[in-house]
Structures are given as structure tokens and as C-alpha cells.
Amino acid sequence: MKRDVAALLAEALDALCVSTRQPVEIEVPREESFGDLSTPLAMGLAKVLKKPPKKIAEDIVSRLKNSSILDKVEIAGPGFINFTFTKSYLYSSLQQLLRAEKSYLRENIGEGKKVLVEFVSANPTGPLHIGHARGAAMGNALCNLLEESGFRVDREYYVNDAGRQVKLLGLSVYARYQQLLGIDVTFPADGYRGQYIDDEAAALFADAGERYKGARFDACGFDITSWTYKRMLGLIRKDLKRFGVKEFDTWVSEKEIFTRGAVTSAIEALKQKGCIYEHDHALWFRSTTFNDDKDRVVIKRDGDYTYFASDIAYHKNKLDRGYDIIIDIWGADHHGYIPRIESVMQAFGYDITKFKVILVQMVNLLKHGEPFQMSKRAGTFVTLSDIIDLVGADTTKFIFLTRKADSHLDFDLDIVTATSAENPVFYVQYANARISSILANAQEQGIEIGHGTDLSQLTAPAEQGLIKKLLLYPMVLENAARSLEPHRITFYLQELAGMFHTYYHNHRVIGDDLALSGARLSLCRGIKIVLNDALGILGVSAPEKM
């Protein structure tokens, strides 16, 4: 619907000899009585044309009066233009959806632009927890959405394998390994705890036997740390695959960034630009020049690099690879990191509007409305694997995507395990399963569902509403892609499923009137097409039976 209104408005503006550089804003009115779509175009042109918005709206509407697809065009408020479509337009558009399916549902807003999405990037120091899982669901859905919107997307995981945390992982496993062999070794006060550390120590013994028994950590620590973190990375890969996250195109190692000299090279490049200075025996980056709140240390007094130093090299590498858009999905606690990375980009002369950060808030796990600690297997956090075991990957992903990423999310186990309308993913998937059953029943009765079905039989208000809802889906996808907000799709799915379930309870799909039955079956098939498409983008399955 949006593309047809946009075309009509473009023709009207041409006829009025009016040009606008900005895309025409088209939206769904707050109230159904206002029409099917609306635009504030006239108000946006008022300053340029130096005319009252209402007069501009009247001029535009005068050019739209004879459109065959519009039943009504009305001016409301200070200059909104509201559009109501004819029933014949709705029927023909639904026929197009049924014929073309995916090609009808897509808007190519990406036009082949290259996008890099870095997400998850959890330290390989333990299993993925529920917070990482929300970022994984968000990143996977966003990549799918952008790909379906015409962007060329690369998925990337940044492995923090060069810092103190990985060494501490190795030290923790080393201590447990020695204790397992009866050697009195003190466990590090800030070491990693949980059953998984004990499991890794046992696995090390099974693999290496007593090879490192009694050895000092500085003699065997490199081997044990490398062995352990690679196993952790393997566990992360396994959990992500089980969660239904598509394989990453690239896995970038922080250690390799150092090894190939990229960190030294990046800092030297900033020195040449006058952005690095020495103070108090440390090297500092002049990030305040680029609106950061303070300058940042890149090499400490003891000669060690800071985490920020490798981040400088990593993001320079991202920019040098020629992406049109770079998207980082971070935990909400990294909010303060945004200005310093933007300052690096500006220092290297890159356009920071290419850089987008999506912050993901933590998840509160609840049972009976109270905080719930599911197990102590991984110490103080709930693992992704635990959640999948309990409620499944589909439910977990869908629930994570029911809120904007930077909003707090309560994951209530009582709700997500319910087989009722209270559980949003069950409600949506059941709509698809119910339609599958209806279509299978029609096939058994020999009722054909062809493209030539007379859809004008669909006159009930609920049927008209469902058709309009289906035709709005391409607009929902476009808006979700432009705003980088996949949760808009889950909102839409819940609304569509709710409309269908109500319709199903109030209208018999297969009845004695074969023409009406055929039209209603076609409507159901259209709903199924959209449900399957939207669930696929979210990375959630569309079961045929439940």
C-alpha cells in the first residue's frame, strides 16, 4: 500500500511542480476512522513553499481525486492527508501477494549497500549466558532483516582472546587441575567459578593425563590457557548453532590483531595525525578533540596496551574494509564506550554516521513473578544452554525480540511455557498451525485454492481488516529495517495472530458456499505466507502442527 500511495504523491507533486529531497513520510493513522494510511507531507513542505499546510494539502488532494485505488482522500487537523483504499484495490493487492509471495513483500531499501554487523562477541571464558543470548537473537534477526531488505550483510564475532580475562580462565582451570591431582594450589581469588571450570579441569586430565602435574603456571599456563579458551570457543559455537544463529562470516581474533602489528600500526597512524601524546609515562589518545569527555590511555606506564588500543585497531580495520554501514551490538553497560569509538573514527577521517551501536539490556529471569536462579552449573549466571533445554530456542528468541533491545526484559518462565494466548510465541505459531490444518482439510475435501479465486466475497469487516493488515507487512519490514528494530515484527505478528484467531472463532472458513469458502481459504493462505515470512526473519520456526 505504501509504495502505491508514494507513487500517487510523487505524481501529484510533479503536476504541482514541487520537488522534495526527503523521502515522503507515510504512516498508519492512530485511529482506524482516519483511514488506511496518512502523510504529514503538506506540513513538511510549508516552510519551503511558504504556504499554509492546509492549502498545500488541498492542492495535493485535488490531484488525487480521480485515483482508481482510493475510495477517500481527506485532510485532517493542521494538514494531514488521510487515504482510504477501495475494496477492489484491496482484493487485487491480495491477489498479487498470493501470486508473488516474497517478491511482493519486499522493499529493496538496501540497494546492495555493504553492512557489517558484529554481535555476541562474548569473552571465551565460559558458556554463553542469558544476556549474550538476547544479543544473539537481536543480531541474528537484524542480519536476516537487512539481507531481506536488499543489503549485503556480513556477520562478525570479535574474539577477546588476548587479555587478562582469558589468562585468568587458564589459571582457574590450572588450579582445579592441580587440585584434582592432589596438588595444594590456591585457587585465584578472582578466578572463574562454577561447575564448568571443574569440568574443564577433568577434561584436561583426560586429555593430558599428569603432564602438567606440579608444574608452575608460568611454565604450562600458555598451553593450558590456549587449550581451554579454544574449548570455550567451541562451546560458544555449539550453543549458537543450537540457538539457530546463522554461522558468522568472520571470527576476528584480538590476539591476531596484535600479532600482525595492527595495533602498533594504528597507534602510529594516530601519532602522525597528532592525536597521540605522552603524559605521566603513558601514551594517551586525544579523544576530547572529538567530543569525548576525557582523553584515553592506549599504552599504560608499564608498557602494556589497554583494551582500548586493540579496539582502535579493530575498528580501523572495519572501516578500511569499505563497509557502507558498521553496526555493533553491545551490552548496555558499554554505553560509555560509544563516544570513544566515534572519536577514533573521526580521528581517522571517517564519517561517524556510518557507525551504529545497538545497546542490549540484560534479562530478568522470573518464576511466579520472583527472580529465579535456574542452576549453579555455571556459577552466578544462567546459561543459554539451560534456557534452551527448558523452553526451547524458538520461544527464547521470540520473547527476546518482543521488546526494543535497550529496554529491560522480564523473561517469565510461567508465561513462556504456557500454551495459551498469554504466551506470545505460542499464540503466533498456533495461528500458523491452525491455518495449516484448515488448508489440509480443504485439500482432503478437494477444494482448490487458486489464484483466480473471487476475493470480492470477503466483505466482512474482519476480512477487510485482515487484508489491510497483510498489505501493511512490507511497510512494517521497511520501517523495522530502517530503524534497526526487529521487535516491530513481533508486535505485528502478535496483532495479526490476534486478528486471525478472533476471525476464526467468529467465521466458518469452509462451509456450504464454495465461492465464499475459496475466498476465505485464500485469505488464510495469505496470512500463512506472511506468518512464515516474518517468523523466518526472526529466526523462529513456523510449525505445521502443534
Give per-residue pLDDT as tens, 443-489: 999 887 776 789 999 999 999 999 999 999 999 999 999 999 999 99
Taken as a whole, the chain contains a residue count of 546
What φ, ψ does residue 272 adopt, rounded to 5°?
Answer: -60, -25
Question: Does pLDDT of 376 surpass 60?
Answer: no
- Mean pLDDT, the chain, rounded, equals 93
| Residue 380 confidence (pLDDT) | 58
DSSP state of 284: E
| pLDDT exceeds 60 at position 330 | yes
Is the pLDDT score of 118 beyond 90?
A: yes
Average pLDDT of the segment spanning 404-420: 89
Fold agreement between 2-85 and 114-159+247-360: no
Q: What share of the chain is helix, strand, coil (3-state, %, to 5)?
A: 55, 15, 35
CATH number of 424-538: 1.10.730.10
pLDDT at 377: 42
DSSP letters, 245-268, are: PPPPSEEEEHHHHHHTTHHHHHHH
pTM beyond cutoff 0.85? yes
Grid cell digits, residue 342: 566515534
* Residue 120 and residue 128 in contact, taking contact as beta carbons nearer than 8 Å: yes
Provide the β-strand partners of residue 358. 329
**CB contact at 8 A, 266 and 320:** no
- Domain range 114-159+247-360, its CATH number among 2.40.37.20, 3.50.30.30, 3.40.50.620, 3.30.1300.10: 3.40.50.620
Q: Cα–Cα distance between 289 and 84 in angstroms, integer?
A: 53
Average pLDDT over residues 11-19: 87
pLDDT the model gives residue 479: 96
Exposed, middle or buried: residue 264 (CB in 10 Å: 0-12, 13-18, 19+)?
A: middle
- Reply yes or no on domain 2-85 having CATH 3.30.1360.70: yes
For 172-189, the pLDDT digits (tens) are: 999 999 999 999 999 999
Q: Which of 484, 479, 485, 470 is nearest to 525 (CA)?
A: 470
pLDDT of residue 418: 85
Would you state the pLDDT for residue 379? Answer: 56
Nearest-angstrom CA–CA distance, 24 and 13: 11
For the chain, the structural domain boundaries read 2-85, 114-159+247-360, 424-538
